[in-house]
């Protein structure tokens, strides 16, 4: 798309009254155009292979690193947080089967990334703690079944101590986690 | 995340992601870049996505990345030479939350539906028009009105 088109589209959005329905229809045709997904995938796939080869040869251009850095930021944006920022949704029992199934298929390929970060995107609390507790060789005990279904969206640095991870989760009013010997105890926040 | 999993996500969600990016950025190449960058990040990061939330996650990523680009291009246009810090994720998330709250408070019910169908669900104008029983041009005008309100409020 040319710059002039972009300017026109922006103007059309700000001042739709200046344009005829036909002009708007023409622009909507452009915006509604279905992209060629297969071609886009081939292009993306080829770029990734190129990138991998380049990495293997230790030939990194600054542009490439900037692009990787940008995409890294993109993921962080979605986490929505500093460490203490978690999103909790209501439990969704009907979704448990699908999620557990997905997790099971992923566990075998849960490779620890070199920089030690894992992003949990809207995941059940019990599923997340199953992964985290295994990393720290702990078991998990819930005082309340309902807590298992809380949905969490957060980032975990595997190089952090368990105490740090628990401290972050405890920023939530709804939760109180305690580490005692080989067990992580999970109870509702505010319960002594 | 493994390439095979990325391929499935890509083929399933690319069209909607691209559509949302186009609505925000307009530019075809920039929109393609945003979507590619998100999938590239998935390839390089260990991310656990669940089947029931992956679409929401990906479309939110698009919105975030587009807002970030707009903010950066706006800053560079001002020519102040200021380079923003890399980790500004909180700013984008707060902005999205503010926009969502504004939408809920100040838009009509129909505008809210149209806004969400386009930006949250990645529907085409044709699909929204069919869902609302109005023309595509009418959808555009509702959406333009909503976006102008948002722009005026946050600028």
Chain A residues with CB under 8 Å of B46 CB are 110-113, 117-119
Tell me if A73 and B86 make a contact (CB, 8 A cut-off). Answer: yes
pLDDT of residue B65: 87
Q: Where are the beta strands (DSSP E) in A51-136?
A: 117-124
* Pairs from B102-106 (Cβ < 8 Å, separation ≥ 24): B102/B149, B102/B150, B102/B153, B102/B154, B103/B146, B103/B150, B106/B149, B106/B153
Structural domains in chain B, sorted by start: 1-84 (1.10.1740), 89-155 (1.10.10.10)
Q: Rounded to a whole number, what is the distance in Å from the CA of A192 to chain B's nearest CA?
A: 32
| Model pLDDT for residues A8-30, shown as the tens digit of each residue | 888 888 888 889 999 999 889 88
More confident residue, B37 or A96: B37
Residue A166 lies in a domain: yes
> For chain A, what is the domain count?
2
Q: What is the spatial distance between Cα B21 and Cα B62, in angstroms, rounded to a whole number? A: 6
Chain B residues with CB under 8 Å of A34 CB are 15
Domain that includes residue A171, residue range: 93-188
Residues A26 and A112 in one domain: no
Q: What is the residue-averaged pLDDT of chain A?
A: 69
More confident residue, B119 or B72: B119
Comparing CA positions, the residue from B68, B75, B76, B65 lying closest to residue B32 is B65
Dihedral (CA of B8, A42, B68, A84) sign: positive
Question: Any CB–CB contact under 8 A between B18 and chain A?
Answer: yes
When pLDDT is averaged across residues B3-13 and rounded to a whole number, the result is: 90
pLDDT of residue A146: 82
pLDDT at A61 over 50: no
When pLDDT is averaged across residues A138-155 and rounded to a whole number, the result is: 83
- How many CA within 13 A on the CB side of residue A49? 6
Residue A68 lies in a domain: no
Comparing CA positions, the residue from A155, A78, A77, A79 lying closest to residue A119 is A155
Chain A residues with CB under 8 Å of B122 CB are none
CATH code: domain of residue A106 = 3.55.50.30
Confidence grade of residue B134 (pLDDT, cut at 50, 70, 90): very high
Question: Any CB–CB contact under 8 A between B141 and chain A?
Answer: yes
Residues A23 and A109 in one domain: no
Question: Can you tell me the ipTM of this complex?
Answer: 0.77
Residues A102 and A180 in one domain: yes
Confidence grade of residue A159 (pLDDT, cut at 50, 70, 90): confident
Q: Where are the beta strands (DSSP E) in chain B?
A: 46-49
Residue A79 lies in a domain: no
This prediction's pTM: 0.56
pLDDT at A185 over 90: no
More confident residue, A190 or B134: B134
């Amino acid at each position: 798309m040319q710059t002039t088109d972009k300017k026109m589209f922006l103007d059309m959005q700000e001042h739709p009254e200046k344009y005829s329905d036909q002009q708007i229809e023409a622009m909507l045709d452009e915006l509604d155009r279905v992209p060629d997904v297969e071609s886009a995938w081939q292009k993306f796939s080829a770029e990734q292979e190129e990138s991998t080869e380049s990495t293997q040869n230790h030939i990194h251009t600054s542009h490439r690193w900037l692009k990787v850095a940008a995409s890294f930021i993109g993921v962080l944006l979605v986490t929505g947080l500093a460490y203490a920022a978690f999103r909790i949704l209501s439990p969704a029992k009907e979704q448990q089967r699908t999620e557990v199934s997905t997790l099971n298929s992923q566990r075998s390929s849960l490779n620890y990334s070199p920089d030690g970060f894992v992003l949990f995107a809207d995941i059940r609390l019990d599923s997340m703690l199953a992964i985290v507790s295994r990393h720290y060789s702990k078991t998990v005990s819930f005082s309340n079944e309902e807590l298992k279904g809380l949905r969490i969206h957060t980032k975990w640095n595997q190089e952090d101590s368990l105490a740090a991870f628990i401290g972050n989760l405890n920023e939530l009013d709804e939760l109180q986690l305690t580490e005692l010997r080989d067990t992580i105890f999970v109870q509702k926040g505010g319960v002594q | 995340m493994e390439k095979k999993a990325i391929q499935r996500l890509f083929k399933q969600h690319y069209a909607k992601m691209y559509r949302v990016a186009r609505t925000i950025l307009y530019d075809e190449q920039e929109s393609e870049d945003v979507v590619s960058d998100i999938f590239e990040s998935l390839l390089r990061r260990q991310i656990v996505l669940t089947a029931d939330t992956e679409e929401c996650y990906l479309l939110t990523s698009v919105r975030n990345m587009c807002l970030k680009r707009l903010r950066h291009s706006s800053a560079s246009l001002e020519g102040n030479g200021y380079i923003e810090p890399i980790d500004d994720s909180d700013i984008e998330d707060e902005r999205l939350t503010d926009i969502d709250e504004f939408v809920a408070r100040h838009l009509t019910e129909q505008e809210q539906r149209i806004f969400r169908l386009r930006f949250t669900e990645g529907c085409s104008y044709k699909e929204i028009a069919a869902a609302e029983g109005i023309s595509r041009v009418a959808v555009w005008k509702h959406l333009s009105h909503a976006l102008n309100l948002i722009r005026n409020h946050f600028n």
